[in-house]
Amino acid sequence: MLNNRITFLTAGLKKNFKSLRHYNYRLYWISQLISVTGTWMQNIALAWLVVTLTGSAVALGTATALQFLPILLLSLFAGVFIDRLPKRKIIIATQSLSAVQAFALWILAALKVVTLWEIYALSLFIGFVNALDQPGRQAFVAEMVPDEDVGNAIALNSLLFNAARTVGPAIAGVTIALVGVAPSFLLNGVSYLAIIVALLMMRVSQLRIFPSNVSSTMREGLKEGISFAVNDTVIASILIVLIFVGTFGYNYSTVLPLLVKFIMNGGPEMFGVLTAALGIGSMIGAILVAGRQQPTRRFIYTFAVVFGLIDLAMALSRVYVLTVILLVALGVASIAYIASTNTSLQMNSPMHLRGRIMGLYVVIFAGSTPIGALFTGFIAEWIGTAQMIFIEGMLCLVGVIAGVAFVRRKAAIGEREKVPEESGTS
C-alpha cells in the first residue's frame, strides 16, 4: 500500500516537473530562480525605501508606475523585434542592463545619497529594459521545450517566480531590519550573473528556432498581430478579462506596503511575512496548474472571480492571521489565473505571432501597472487603503462579466468557437 502511494506520488511529481528533463530549460529554470529571488529582494527594498523616505502612497504609486510605463508604451513594438531577432541574445542584453540598474541603486543607497528623483529615474530605466525583456522571456519558453511541454514550462516558471517571491521578501525583510536596504540591491545585481551565464552555456543546437514571418514594416507587423488577437474569440476574450484583473488586481508592490503601514500598523518584518504568504499560495497554485493540460476559458474565468472575491474579503479584514490566510488563498488564485492565461494565449497563437501576442500580454498585464499603481495610490490617499482594495476587487469581477459578455455576443453572431470547455465546448 505504501509502495503504491510512493509510486503514485513519484509519477505525479514527474508529470508536474516534466519540462526540467530538457537541458536548456533546466539550466534556464535554475538560473531564473536565483535571479528572480534577487529581483524580489530589490522590489521589497525599493518599495520600503520610498515609503520611509516620503510616507506617501502617491510617491510609491509613481515609482511603480515609472517602472511599467515603458512596458505599456513599447512592448507591442518590442513584440515585432522579438519575432525577428534571436531571443536568447535579446535576454542576455536585457539582463546585463538590469544588473547595471541594480548596482546603481546599491551605490546610491550605500552612500546614503539616494533621493526620490534618482529612484524615479532608475525605475524608468528598468522599465525601458523590461519592455523588451518581458515579452522576450515569455516567447523564449517555446524555444526550449516542445509544444506538448509549453504549458508545463509556463507553470514551472510561475512556480519559480513565486518560490522567489517567498524567499526574496523574507530575506529582504530581515536584511532591511538588520542592515538597511542597500544589500538587497547589491545581491540583486549579483544574481543577474546567474541567468547571463546560463544563457551563454545553453546548447544552441537544441533550441527550437522558428523562421521569422514578420511583415516588412513595423506598422504591418503590428497590424498583423493586433488583427489576429482582436478577431480570435479565445484570445480576445481572455485579454478583455486580463485588462481588468491585470490593471486593478496585481498591484502587490503598491498595495502590500500600504496594507502593512496603514491597516495592519506593521513594519518591514510584517511586510516580508505577508509578501511571503502571497508567494506560498502562488507556489501552491503553480503546482496545481503544472500538471494540467491546456486550460479552458471556464477555468481561467473561475480563478479570476475567486481572485476578486478574496480582494473583497481582504478589504474587510483587520486580523493579522486572517490577512495572512487570505493572502495565501490570493496567491493560489492569482497564479492559477495568470499561468492559465499565459498558456492559453501561447497555445492558441501561431508560432510566428507569439512574440507579438506575448507583447500584447505584457502590455496588458505589466504595462497596465502604471495605471493601476497610480489609481491605487490616489484612491488609497483619497478614501483609504481598505476602500481601495474593495474597489479593485469589484473591478476584477467586472472584467469577468465583460469577458463573458464578449463571448456571448460573438456566439450570437455565429462565430465558431475554438477551445473546448470542460464539458466539451469553450
d(CA 41, CA 170) in angstroms, rounded, equals 8
Beta carbons within 10 angstroms of residue 120's beta carbon: 17
The pLDDT assigned to 329 comes to 95
The pLDDT assigned to 213 comes to 57
What's the chain's average pLDDT? 84
Strands (E), 121-219: none
Spatial CB neighbours of 49, under 8 Å, sequence gap ≥ 6:
109, 114, 119, 181
Q: Is residue 313 part of a domain?
A: yes
The pLDDT assigned to 215 comes to 55
Q: Compute CA 217 distance to the chain's CA centroid, rounded to the nearest angstrom.
A: 30
The pLDDT assigned to 8 comes to 41
The pLDDT assigned to 251 comes to 80
Spatial CB neighbours of 90, under 8 Å, sequence gap ≥ 6:
81, 82, 132, 133, 136
Residues of the chain with pLDDT > 70, as a percent, come to 89
Q: Is residue 417 part of a domain?
A: no
Least confident of 44-53, 188-197, 271-280: 271-280
d(CA 173, CA 204) in angstroms, rounded, equals 39
Terminal alpha carbon distance of the chain:
40
d(CA 270, CA 278) in angstroms, rounded, equals 12
Residue 249 three-state SS: coil
CATH code, domain with 267 = 1.20.1250.20
Q: Is residue 4 part of a domain?
A: no
Q: Is residue 425 part of a domain?
A: no
Which residue, chain included where needed, has cell 484612491?
379
CB 119 within 8 A of CB 63: yes
The pLDDT assigned to 2 comes to 47
Per-residue pLDDT at 1 exceeds 70: no
Residue 86 three-state SS: coil
Q: Is residue 5 part of a domain?
A: no
The pLDDT assigned to 9 comes to 43
- Top pLDDT among 293 and 386 is at 386
Per-residue pLDDT at 205 exceeds 50: yes
Q: Is residue 1 part of a domain?
A: no
d(CA 269, CA 340) in angstroms, rounded, equals 32
Closest CA to 179 of 98, 268, 90: 268
Per-residue pLDDT at 13 exceeds 60: no
d(CA 242, CA 248) in angstroms, rounded, equals 10
pLDDT band, residue 321 (cuts 50/70/90): very high
Q: What is the pLDDT of residues 45-92, one digit of tens each?
A: 898 888 888 887 778 878 877 887 888 788 888 888 888 888 899 999
pLDDT band, residue 166 (cuts 50/70/90): low
Per-residue pLDDT at 22 exceeds 80: yes
d(CA 69, CA 74) in angstroms, rounded, equals 9
- For range 9-23, the mean pLDDT: 72
The pLDDT assigned to 291 comes to 66
- For range 325-334, the mean pLDDT: 92
Write out the residue range of the structural domain in which residue 249 sits.
16-205+215-412
Kind and range of the H or E run holding 336: helix 320-347
Residues of the chain with pLDDT > 90, as a percent, come to 33
d(CA 420, CA 426) in angstroms, rounded, equals 4
- For range 399-404, the mean pLDDT: 94
The pLDDT assigned to 14 comes to 65
The pLDDT assigned to 105 comes to 94
For the chain, how many structural domains are there in total?
1
d(CA 47, CA 61) in angstroms, rounded, equals 9
Residue 250 three-state SS: coil
Per-residue pLDDT at 367 exceeds 80: no
pLDDT band, residue 157 (cuts 50/70/90): confident
Q: Is residue 72 part of a domain?
A: yes
User: Residue 252 has which C-alpha cell?
Assistant: 502587490
Residue 294 three-state SS: coil
Per-residue pLDDT at 323 exceeds 50: yes
The pLDDT assigned to 179 comes to 85
Considering 38-47, 158-167, 251-260, 412-421, the range whose residues carry the highest mean pLDDT is: 38-47
For CA atoms 144, 145, 151, 157, the dihedral sign is negative
Q: Is residue 190 part of a domain?
A: yes
- Top pLDDT among 152 and 163 is at 152
Per-residue pLDDT at 180 exceeds 50: yes
- Top pLDDT among 317 and 253 is at 317
Provide the b/e sequence for 295-316 (b: ≥16 CB within 10 Å). Answer: bbbebbbbbbbbbbbbbbbbbe
Q: How far is CA 6 from CA 18, 264, 284, 400, in A?
A: 18, 43, 20, 40
User: Residue 268 has which C-alpha cell?
Assistant: 518591514
- For range 190-207, the mean pLDDT: 93
Beta carbons within 10 angstroms of residue 93's beta carbon: 14
pLDDT band, residue 285 (cuts 50/70/90): confident
Q: What is the DSSP string of 299-328?
A: HHHHHHHHHHHHHHHHHH---HHHHHHHHH
d(CA 44, CA 253) in angstroms, rounded, equals 8
